[in-house]
Chain A
Amino acid sequence: MPDAETAAAEIQRILITELAQRIEVEPELIDPRQPFERYGLDSLNAVRLAVELEERIGCRLPATALWDYPSIESLAHHLAYDLSVRRISDQRS
């Protein structure tokens, strides 16, 4: 599924940018395999980030998405493969 693969990579890039902005570090310092917790995101702030991502990605996410997919890599994979998110809302014309 090359489509899904491309989408996963794109979503992963967006998630890294969002998280880096949130915690004020350079995106290069974020490891997508590490749990969100590692970056100081507690359970309730993870809920808030899920809602924030919903806006960016243009797809309804459960508030608990980051609890179930606790790293950038697993979340991006879930969005691209399970929810078939192919496009990012910001890129829509």
Chain B
Amino acid sequence: MQLRQQYQLAEKLERYLGDPEDPAAPVSFGAALEMDEREEYPIRQTAFLDNWNLCELYVPAHCGGRLGSFEEVFAILRVLSRRDLTLALSHVVTFLGALPVWIAGSDEQKRHMAELVRAGHKVAFALSERMRGSDLLANEVEARQDGDSYVISGEKWMVGNATRSTALSLFARTRPEGGPRGFSLLFVDKRSLDPARFRHLPKVPTVGLRGSDLSGICFQQCRVQRDSCIGPAGSGFELTLRTLQVTRTFCTGLSLGAADTALRLAADFAIKRRLYGANVYDIPHARAVLANAFIDLMICDCVAISALRALQARPGQASLWSAVAKYFVPTRIESVIRDIAVVLGARFFLRSEHAWSMFQKMARDSAIVSVFEGSTVVQLDALALQLGFLPDRGKTVDDTFNDRLRTVFSLDAPIPAFDPAQLDLFSREGDDAVSGIPFLCDHLRAAGASEETMNAARRVLDQSAHLTGDLERSRRLQPRSIAAFDLAKRYARLHVSACCIGFWIYNRETLDEFLGREKWLVNCLNRLFAEGELIEDARTEAELLDRVRAGRLLSAVPFSLSCGERNTYA
């Protein structure tokens, strides 16, 4: 089976980066751990990625770069994240920082940004402030208009690459009274600033991502040209919300990369470690815990990959798809890592021995993903806000529906170019995944799915029918109430279920034998509704072993990883 084009670059990068278990490899676990202990920024490693011209992938094709498919960048992000989240974030932050310019910048700004990024300069997204949490409109850094310039004052804090970046997308108050039209995003090239009027703040000590440049920047009446404003003045809040729809979807790649390494280490341990006269992997419970974690990873994959594809295929629905992905995947991966820690016993708590300290580092580093780029509650709030106002399903399911679903779910369907103008704060098109549940279930029946599969699908269908009335009534729920968030969680689970069914239907004939089985889909759906129960499936357990032995990604779209020949198991 040939690897799909959008994953080929990730496989190439794997080969370029070498086997992370090999201390001599350019990006190794050993170096990542040592640097983490010393809280040292991965200078050599980011330069190694620059040499590979990874930055080209952060620049859209129409601006001279190679960015065409978000799914491709997502696969790359997993390759980096499975080695070291500090490295992944340190590098990919530039993509986030540049995104507002790709979405709303002028031609001149795009040219300038493309030049910076392609030359390997880092760009940061200076959004957060010390006292402001998720409340963007309370931000205080101001950019006061003065003739042909803005005069910037105030402090941004906990900003990735704040110090090491050459340029920033800076979120600043441009009307003293604030409000949703009172903020703008400014494209600030630090080299053009008066060095006496700004300073960097020290790196913030953190529990995870210890080597990253999470620092800040403080401006004192710092002057920038008026044309540094990205989009119209006053559009900063809206532009930030639209930018975050894209970036928060990518966050799932950080979680999934970390989970791959955590599960790989735990499975490796279980294969080698002898306990009670047998290998740990021979203990049914241990084996099931690991196999269920593997199923969880594939569920998360279905949501993440579909959401990434939907950014290009259905950008008008991104407010929903990205919120579900950012809510569901990082929190699920946090619980996956906790679950598999049980198999490692006390080792998961160690910082001294190589393999275990890597597990611990992944657990620590990935714990922040559910918080940044809009926390879990922010995502639930974004969902809850829209749920009462989704259009009737009857209106959204029409003759083009099958093609629409195919474009989102089928890995072989051509994907349209990203059109940022279509990103909307509220999905007027509804959500093709949840609207599509009856359609997808009919599809399964027509394809002759087994009784077991139909039972699993019917549970999704019943819950979806049940939800319709609750959605209507949700208009009257108090914002940010427990009931509103509970409804958003139920909704998210249905969206996730629909993504699993859609992913399976539209790819089953071209996926490998393991993923093409109906049982694969049944396992995903049962796991989603199992409420913590473990599923027993010998085929999944065997597949996990095979993947770990052969060095293939623990994903719904597996590709080959760089794993040395030292990986010889008993």
Contacts and interface: CB of A to CB of B under 8 A. Distances in A.
B385 A45 contact: yes
Main secondary structure of the interface of B (DSSP, over half): loop
Contacts, number: 38
Contacts of A68: 181
Most A Cβ at <10 Å: residue of B137, B238, B381, B426: B426
Contacts of B137: 43
Main secondary structure of the interface of A (DSSP, over half): helix
A54 B381 CA distance: 21
A43 B237 contact: yes
Interface residues of A, number: 17
A50 B424 CA distance: 13
A86 B398 CA distance: 30
Given A45-B385, A48-B386, A48-B389, A64 B180 contact: yes
B456 interface: no
Interface in A39-91: 43-48, 50-52, 54-55, 63-64, 67-68, 70
Contacts of A48: 385-386, 389, 426
Given A45-B479, A48-B385, A67 B428 contact: no
Contacts of B425: 47, 63-64
Nearest to A24: B476
Contacts of A54: 428
A55 B391 CA distance: 10
Contacts of B181: 67-68
Contacts of B386: 48
B423 to A, nearest CB: 10
Contacts of A45: 385, 479
Contacts of B237: 43, 67
Interface in B250-301: none
Nearest to A44: B385
Nearest to B381: A44
Nearest to B390: A51
B64 interface: no
A37 interface: yes
A55 B392 CA distance: 12
Contacts of A63: 424-426
Given A52-B389, A64-B238, A46 B180 contact: yes
Interface of B: 137, 179-181, 237-238, 381-382, 385-386, 389, 424-426, 428, 479
Given A44-B381, A48-B389, A67-B238, 5 more contacts: A37-B179, A43-B237, A51-B426, A63-B426, A70-B179
15 contacts: A43-B179, A44-B381, A47-B425, A48-B386, A48-B389, A48-B426, A51-B389, A51-B426, A51-B428, A52-B389, A54-B428, A55-B389, A67-B179, A67-B237, A67-B238
